[in-house]
Amino acid sequence: MKYLIMLVLPLGLLFMGGCVDCDQVAEDYSDAVSAFGSSMSASDCDAVVDAYQEGVDGGCDGYEQSLADDLQSGCDDL
């Protein structure tokens, strides 16, 4: 199911004509990391993963699926 979502999301963005603002993605990721650093909660950890995954799915430079997977693994261990 996870791989299906990873396949559908980029295709959805393509057909919707949407594009990702990578500067906004970086800001959202930074905000999520700050929130998680303060709370160390599972929900804030998931927000970090979601923000990073947006960069991966949007094709932003420096965002790699392997790191998104590692982040998710870390959240799963909380």
Listed by start position, the domains of the chain span: 2-76
> Longest Cα pair distance anywhere in the chain, in angstroms?
38
In whole numbers, what is the pLDDT of the chain averaged over residues? 84
**Which pTM was predicted?**
0.74
pLDDT, tens only, 13-38: 444 445 789 999 999 999 999 999 99
Q: pLDDT exceeding 90 applies to what percent of the chain?
A: 73
